[in-house]
A and B are shown apart, each in its own frame.
Chain A
Amino acid sequence: MSMELDVFVGNTTVLDEDVYQLWLDGQTVTDAVRIRIEAGALQECEANAEVLLSDTMDQFRTFQMCERLLQSPSKVANQLLFQIPPHRQTMLIERYYEFDSMFAREVLGKKLSKGTKKDLDDIGSKTGIVLKSCRRQFDNFKRVFKVVEELKGPLVENIQRHFLLSDVLARDYAAIVFFANSRFETGKRKLQYLSFQDFAFCAGQLISYWTVGAVDNVVENMDVDLEKEFLHDLKDLKVLVNDKDMLDQHKSLVCAQLRGKIKVFSEMEASFKNLSRALVNIASKLTHTKDVRDLFIDLVEKFIEPCRSDKWTIGDLRLFLTHYSSSVHTLEAFRRQVIWDRYMGVIKSCILKMYHD
């Protein structure tokens, strides 16, 4: 004796957001029922386990049917099969594309290929995210990447237009796409302390200031790649460390500004040249793709770690970076102010974001 068939179809598709989350999390029906019972679903409406099971199965089936549409969200609004109020459509799409930052952190910068998909097992067991959910998230990354990869125009807007995501989520996806495209190194042990949000912030900075689209707003421009010309120009910054006078002048300017203002003044004074050299060297190397990939590991190894070992506070660091970058303006011999600002603006905010334990 068994229920052979059990369906419920509403004219307006009935969607339970809590169950949707369980489905997105890749739970099996049995687990989902257990979780719902633990969450007190039985108290609602005099339900029993049987009712809950039936409801969960039904909801899962509905979501599965919707999934095909959710993979091309623009279809959700003009499909006829499910009558879903617009705000629910938005919810469905947004939630479908939401991801665990733990998971995203693992995948960040990796090639979104089949090879990586095999690693999902490992990621799943590492992060405790159900494999099914990993797959969905990975497929979402890949799908978004494939669609916007070749598109002209601002990356975030492209993602928003094609996937109807909220601004926040679209920005996160932009970061993922950006990282996947440039294949930034994020997996090194020294970078493990950085969260997805740290990287997403940095990605946002890079997209906003270092890409082609960042300087001129012509729609044809690509947002995914860093501006070659700019990277090339960064070589000119070398003068700041190669020219002994300029380096000394720069140091004295910064020290004059910071004296008494930061606790680690002496340490700063001692390591100024090293730090400055590190930042400028990173800049000048960015013409090589390999070095672009290593941007974050370089920042950590050559700048953040020394600072950290000298026990700089974040406030000290902010003051230092501010004056370090602004005092360059008073160096009369230095001509690449614009490039410098464009470089340092991003580097400063990235470092500040990345400077934590």
Chain B
Amino acid sequence: MPGKLKAKIVAGRHLPVMDRASDLTDAFVEVKFGNTTFKTDVYPKSLNPQWNSEWFKFEVDDEDLQDEPLQITVLDHDTYSANDAIGKVYIDIDPLLCSEAATVISGWLPIYDTIHGIRGEINVLVKVDLFNDLNRFRQSSCGVKFFCTTSIPRCYRAVMVHGFVEELVVNEDPEYQWIDRIRTPRASNEARQRLIFLMSGELQRKIGLKVLEMGGNAVVGYLQCFDLEGETGLVVRAIGTACTLEKISTLPATATHPSNSSPSKDMKDSPQAAPSTLGCRSTHSSPVHSASSRLSQGFSVSVPTLLFAGMKPRHRSSEAPRARQCRPGFGEEAPGVPLSSGPPTPLRAQTFSSFSPSKSYSRQSSSSDTELSLTPKTGMGSGGSAGKEAGPLKALLRQQTQSALEQREYPFFTLTAFPPGFLLHVGGVVSARSVKLLDRIHNPDEPETRDAWWEEIRQEIKSHAKALGCHAVVGYSESTSICEEVCILSASGTAAILSSRFMQDGSLDTEHRLSRQPLCVFSTGSERVEGDMGSSASLGFEEVVPPGCGFCHIPYDELNIPFPAQLTYCYCCRRYKVPDVLFTTIDLPTEANVTGKGCLIQARLCRTKKKAQGEGNATAISNLLPFLEYELHTQLMNKLKLRGMNALFGLRIQISVGETMLLGLASATGVYLTALPSPGGIQVAGKTPSDITYEQHISNMQKKINDTISKNKELHEINPPEVVEEIIGSPIPEPRQRSRLFRSHSESSDEVSELDLSHGKKDAFVLEIDDTDAVEDIHALLTDSPTPAGFYSCNTEIMPGIQNWTSAIQMFTSVRVFRLNANLTNQGLNKIFSDLCENLLKSLYFKLRSMVPCCLCHLNFTVAIPEDELIQVAVTAVAMSFDKEQSLENGKQSGEKTLIKAITENDEQLQFNLELNAETSSPNPLSSPKGLSEVGSHPSARAPSVDYSSFADRCSSWIEQLKLKAHTIRRGSVKTTSSLEKASPLPEGRSRSLRSNRSYSGSSVAVVKMTPLSFIPGAKIIKYLGIINMFFIRETTSLREEGGVSGFLHTFIAEVFAMVRAHVAALGGNAVVSYSMKECVFMENPNKNQAQCLINVSGDAVIFIQESELESTSVQTQSATTHTSNGGEGT
């Protein structure tokens, strides 16, 4: 009996009227935990009963404490008939089990009924007395802390990061049990709610056990998901990163060496002693599983910066979605170093294209796993081989860090932000998907098939990371999409090389020290070695590689690039190679050097699919998937270029499957990494130049694209340091010309030359138009309207270039469901889907206009196809306003103001522009035709471009479109600034007043802030109170009366927020961080006047305090340094 749970029911308020005759209620309360139930007295005839009960005591195992919720039911006493239930409250005891979290739950909690919603509130007190558990063979994991936050929580220090933990539990879905036919909807909903509560508790306990085994004391980046498989069951699965955390005390940390720190040592005994009977299912013995007795299909696509994989029986096809001309590396300033970036494109293309069906720049994605793979392996799959080629030093280093990682089954980390020095290099996005047919889970205790499915995917991910020369995957996440019996499993992450500093175990420690020595010996050798070495030798890293660019340096071997990428020397340190574009799933590292601001970039795609059943359906889906991924990727790339940026962070690709269509939504935050080369423009190329109208059309399009690029550059304040490039002056014209391979040679050379001029020496990204599809695509590309003045948006935690947040934050959830007509074409669907997302964004901006200037952070879109012909989009994000003054300083918005800083910045811009165009200072609006004529008059070099013809038609058509555009880019940057800004004056007074109003005080209900971010601006989190993980079902049989579907869902979401806030407040907290709505399943039947909705939310309950003056200054200096580093690049 290691625990005693005590509960006291104090009072109720705002109860509903249960007795029509008296307009009052005779309420009493049942308190249930496990199989024990207590009751309070009936408090007659009151809507505000005062029970003031005794302490109800439950003596229970801590295992139960972890699994079970405390269930409080409020009832109306009825002498003659059965007592009517008013509603229930489920209380998760877990936060009370950890000494560092909450100690008591006390406060008003909403009484919730699945049919009526919130019906009054109840005041309760809950405490837990835990006895010390000396049993080593325990099955509970009390005391392991859980965090949804995907970074090291603010008031902790990571002593060690142990690695990936995962678990899943399955059960029958009560909704699909036979008994559901005879019980009331309420009973069914409650059974479901309770079951999911139990399952999440069990899951958390099991994960906790694994963490203890690993010697950790916490799970960070805990991600729990539900798969409502329907008939076949209910799966609750979770992944996370096991860590050993240490609370940062006011005293300076004394434990200098991680392995000496007490927590890890304490834990070490128990895991070894405890045989993992329950916690760890060791089903991972072999990657080959016979589980796929039913159909298992997948595919694998590998593209530059984005590596997908899956299992495809026949052809492991891998395609590169786009081609680019090879840019000469900027290596000339260091003549001693031979140009090592490999042969220019044509040659390289051949190297990589040999196995790919599309014969283009693509390569074999090597993966060591699947049994079905028939294709021969390319030589460059494993990180090991790459390491060898890079020289013995590198290999040694690799081995050493790898050894730490390879101990782990999966070197995955669900973290998206890291302690400084942890993330060394980033390779690119790796992702894997597979299509499965759901079958009944026969034995819920051994959910082997589901485990095996995930295992396959993880293996795939692992091997892809290896192919990128990386030993770890960070920002890792998993998701599913289910339609009927087909299930798409997806996993994605970012291949990376991590410092072993946080990962070394005690056993590895000596090895590590040994290996460090030889490295030191060679550290005077080539720069490359020095860089790598420095990062592993935990001390000197910062000195050797500037932290602002280190992570951009390629982890793979440049002679064996896993995909066609142009490598250049880093624009920051000029010592290491960087790719031209970088895609990642992680947050932008805080130390990264960024030019300008970032913005949300979305690729949206809809594809129709024939209705099918079973295997046929699965096959159809898996055949469609590669195209979907490919096109999403192309869209992302184009939109990135269109914004003049070169890197994506927080990339999240969601694929949703419906009966007649597939939806793909990729969201990411685009930024301009200073370390990476400036992206070329986009050129559109036509194929039938004889037709004058056609040419005109194309040139119009090109102009539009160019306008957009320049406008975007302004909007995001991207003024890359051109000057630097000028000084170094490396590019050789020759290779550029060589790389230009047009399929149709009819393009006039002067058109091309115009294009190039517009970019200075930048290479343009070329699209060819050869069918109407392509035209549509361009339009789609251009329809993304820019964010209104005063707004910024991103899907990551922070927005580069904005630091001085005010404390005004507004978290929100918005849901839209759109009904489609039958028989839409792909293009029609695309347009609808894209408009849906765009309009949603527009609505958000409009709604939040009073917060301007503000940034929508962590814009998290989820799409679903709840029914045939319905598309559901749900967004949860936070709007944070910031002080305009500093943003003005940062940006060039102050064009008309006479701030000194602004002037200097303008000067810079002018300087840059004057090189290209003498007339930059003319305040021409973008629409002016002048720009075009100017373009023509300029002498030019040729825009290097690459033939896309080898791709699918679609792709080549792309090239043309983009080619069209390349020339306008030069115009815009400065000219339009002032006019743009003037055109959109911000309602300053208004936002001011709003913000000042935001200091709520004196409310009788405690204010609880909610945010999907891991921090609260202007405040310091002083305590984490535990994880909030809540699941609610709401159903109605009077949909019209509740205001239709919108009214119903609006109320429900508001109720969910209210319940989260109330539970946080009861724990003693005043905010929820890392909040997310993981599930929002909405079903309706308007004909029957019915609707049902399931919502799952999670987050970390915290206590924060507003930062004192001192603390806020420290933050500002920190942010200022990042800023100045950016500014420094500009000058």
Q: Which residues, 840 to 857 on B, are CB-close (under 8 Å) to A?
A: 842-850, 852
* Given A9-B812, A57-B1046, A86-B1003, A4 and B817 contact (CB-CB distance below 8 Å): yes
A44 within 8 A of B: yes
A1-42, CB < 8 A from B:
1-14, 16
B121 beta carbon closer than 8 Å to chain A: yes
Residues of B within 8 A of A86 (CB): 1000-1003
On chain A, the number of residues with a Cβ less than 8 Å from chain B's Cβ atoms is 44
Question: For B121, what are the chain A residues with a Cβ–Cβ distance below 8 Å?
Answer: 80
Is the pair B1046, A1 in contact by a Cβ cutoff of 8 Å? Answer: no
Is the C-beta of A75 less than 8 angstroms from some C-beta in chain B?
yes
Q: Is the CB of A6 within 8 A of B1054?
A: no
Q: How far is the CA of A12 from the CA of B998 in the complex (A)?
A: 10
Count of B interface residues, CB-CB < 8 Å: 64
B1067 nearest CB across to chain A (Å): 15
Please name all residues of chain A whose beta carbon is closer than 8 Å to the beta carbon of B813 when the two chains form the complex.
8-9
- Knowing A47-B842, A80-B1058, A85-B998 are in contact, say whether A2-B810 is a contact too (CB < 8 A): no
Across the interface, do B1061 and A51 meet the contact criterion of CB distance under 8 Å?
Answer: no
B815 at the interface (CB under 8 A from A): yes
The A-contacting residues of B in range 984-1011, CB under 8 angstroms, are 987, 997-998, 1000-1005, 1007-1010
Assembled-state Cα–Cα distance A64/B839 (Å)? 24
- In the assembly, what is the distance between CA of A87 and CA of B998, in Å? 9
**Assembled-state Cα–Cα distance A88/B848 (Å):** 16
Q: Are A80 and B1053 in contact (CB under 8 A)?
A: no
Question: B818 interface residue, CB < 8 Å from A?
Answer: yes
What is the 8 Å Cβ interface bit string for chain B, positions 832-843, against chain A (1 contact, 0 not)?
Answer: 100000010011
CB distance from A279 to the nearest CB of B (A): 49
Cα distance A65–B848 in the bound complex, in angstroms: 20
Q: Does A51 contact B839, Cβ atoms closer than 8 Å?
A: yes
From B810, B843, B1008, A55 is in contact (CB under 8 Å) with B843
B1045 touches A5 (CB 8 A): yes
- Asked whether any CB of chain B lies closer than 8 Å to the CB of A81, the reply is yes
Say whether B488 faces chain A, with CB atoms less than 8 Å apart: no
A197 interface residue per 8 A CB criterion: no
Enumerate A57-82 residues with CB–CB distance to B below 8 Å: 57-58, 61-62, 64-65, 75, 77-82
A10 touching B1058 in the complex, CB below 8 Å, given contacts A50-B839, A80-B110: no
Q: Does residue A229 face the partner (Cβ distance < 8 Å to B)?
A: no
Contacts A46-B788, A85-B998 given; indicate if A7 touches B842 (C-beta within 8 A). no
Residue contact A44 to B849, C-beta cutoff 8 Å: yes
Chain A residue with Cβ nearest B870: A4
Q: Is the CB of A3 within 8 A of B843?
A: no
A55 touching B1003, Cβ below 8 Å: no
Interfacial chain A residues near B1010, Cβ < 8 Å: 11
Q: Which of B821, B839, B997, B1053 contacts A85 (CB 8 A)?
A: B997
Q: How far does the alpha carbon of A298 sit from the alpha carbon of B607 in the complex, in Å? A: 81
**A293-327, CB under 8 A of B: which get 1 and which 0?**
00000000000000000000000000000000000
> Is B815 in contact with A14, judged by CB distance below 8 angstroms?
no
- Min Cβ gap B374→A in Å is 45
Residue from A7, A62, A88 with most neighbouring chain B CB atoms (10 Å): A7
- Residues in A whose Cβ lies below 8 Å from that of B1058: 80-83
Distance of A88 Cα from B1010 Cα, bound (Å)? 19
Which residue of B has the minimal Cβ distance to A54? B843
What is the chain A residue whose CB lies nearest that of B1055?
A81
Once the chains bind, are A85 and B1003 in contact (CB under 8 Å)? Answer: yes
Measured CA separation A57–B1055 after assembly (Å): 19
Q: A5-B815, A80-B1061, A81-B1055 are in contact. Are A10 and B810 (CB under 8 A)?
A: yes
Known contacts A77-B1005, A83-B1057; A7 and B998 CB within 8 A of each other: no
A45 within 8 A of B: yes
Are A10 and B811 within 8 A (Cβ)?
yes
The answer to whether A9 and B997 touch (CB under 8 A), given A4-B819, A80-B110, is: no
A127 on the B face (CB < 8 A): no
Q: B14 on the interface (CB 8 Å rule)?
A: yes
A residues 229-266 in Cβ contact with B at 8 Å: none
Asked if residues A45 and B1053 are in contact (CB atoms below 8 Å), the reply is no
Q: Is A48 an interface residue (CB 8 A)?
A: yes
How far is it, in angstroms, between the C-alpha of A58 and the C-alpha of B1046 when the chains are bound?
9
Judge if B556 is at the interface, Cβ distance under 8 Å: no
B819 touches A46 (CB 8 A): no
**CB-based nearest B residue for A59:** B847
CB of A87 within 8 A of CB of B997, answer: yes
Across-interface contacts of B541 in A (CB, < 8 A)? none
Are B811 and A80 in contact, CB atoms less than 8 angstroms apart? Answer: no
B1057 near A5: Cβ-Cβ < 8 Å: no
B357 at the interface (CB under 8 A from A): no
Closest chain-B Cβ to A84's Cβ sits at a distance in Å of 8
What are the residues of chain B within 8 A of A55 when measuring CB–CB? 843, 846-847
Name the distance in Å between B839's Cβ and chain A's nearest Cβ. Answer: 6
Tell whether, in the assembled complex, residue A7 and residue B1050 are in contact, meaning their CB atoms are under 8 Å apart.
yes
In chain A, what residue has the closest Cβ to B1002?
A: A86
A61→B1053 CA distance, assembly (Å)? 13
Q: Is the CB of A45 within 8 A of B14?
A: no
Q: Which residues, 1031 to 1069 on B, are CB-close (under 8 Å) to A?
A: 1043, 1045-1047, 1049-1051, 1053-1055, 1057-1058, 1061-1062
A-B contact pairs, 7 of them (CB 8 A): A4-B1045, A7-B816, A8-B843, A9-B1054, A44-B846, A65-B1051, A81-B1058
Chain A residues in the interface with B (C-beta under 8 A): 1-14, 16, 44-48, 50-52, 54-55, 57-58, 61-62, 64-65, 75, 77-83, 85-89
Q: List 4 tightest A-B contacts by C-beta distance, closest first.
A: A5-B817, A85-B1000, A11-B811, A4-B817
